[in-house]
Structure 1
């Protein structure tokens, strides 16, 4: 009576799944992973009840599922870490608990869309007791934005700073150029500057158009509207005299 159960146990080939995390350019030292790093095997929701198996990170940077359930199932393998992101995998398990295959998978794609093959059972050989695969880190999680550092070159890239530098160059450079000019060229340059309409407009604006502000405030010179008032008054007088002549 005890022979049948023993034979049944001998035929059950329960395998363990070992996920190794090797060093990579993204993760140079796997020993620095947080202690909360763990892996989960999740069944598909279409299979009915969702079962989740969990494996914690060991000191050797491995995650071990010692015994997979003896049930034909397809699992989603996720490696969860607070600092690094890993590629998810698809794990197919046979009815006797042996692992049929492990492939990379892609979230948001059909389940049958398999990626890179990590392990496939060989029918010509006996299934191994444990399957070891290497997990690949794809990036580091960033929760904070790095503050921009001050650089003197950033001042040179500012247009306002460039305009100020050019203005200072003209302010201190033009007198030096004027000193090194020939007398004839200097006289010609000054003559053209005086005849320039921009120079006349600038001087007129600076002097107020001939209006003496200090004298007007002291009461010794007419105001800015005096010429306009006199012109309008003169025009009115002529018009009135012309009207009187017409009446006469």
Structure 2
């Protein structure tokens, strides 16, 4: 029992001996002019595994960092900072700081080294405020949905005038087709797909027959006119 306690004490002593207080500083610039603008921020290793706070002059310290390779990031709500790779060694030598790009593996270290203590600065400040757009009547009418609504409104207004000037036979055919289309739509909405589709196909076939018969009538009428014209010339 005493031997195990002695081993644990030696292990904790070795860990505390090799641990390092990682130090650095955030330099104020136009994107972040002071601690008041920075807000509740902490400098963390490996997304919060170890972290430390930021003082008023911008300096920070992460205590008791054991040997290893870490990714250092600044967790700030309104500012963006560069991430860095930090290698802490078991010897008394200073840690090595290198640039790090998110998503790249840590196995291949960059040949570029940065000075220690770590120097950081805000790259950009997030702007979450989106100004309210002003009312633009021209842009509203450029919307395709608005153009479709205007076209439908014009058709609704012109439909009575078109109905008055329409031939009675064409009017009756239009009413019959409208009734068939309405019945087919009602069947489709009620869930009777086969009945609705068959009614739609029947209406389409009747329309095609009406078109072909109209074309044949027009052709016969034009032929009769031509024959009557030839007879008159004789």
TM-score under structure 2 length normalisation: 0.45
Report which structure shows greater RCO (CA 8 Å, sep ≥6): 1
Q: Larger Rg: 1 or 2?
A: 1
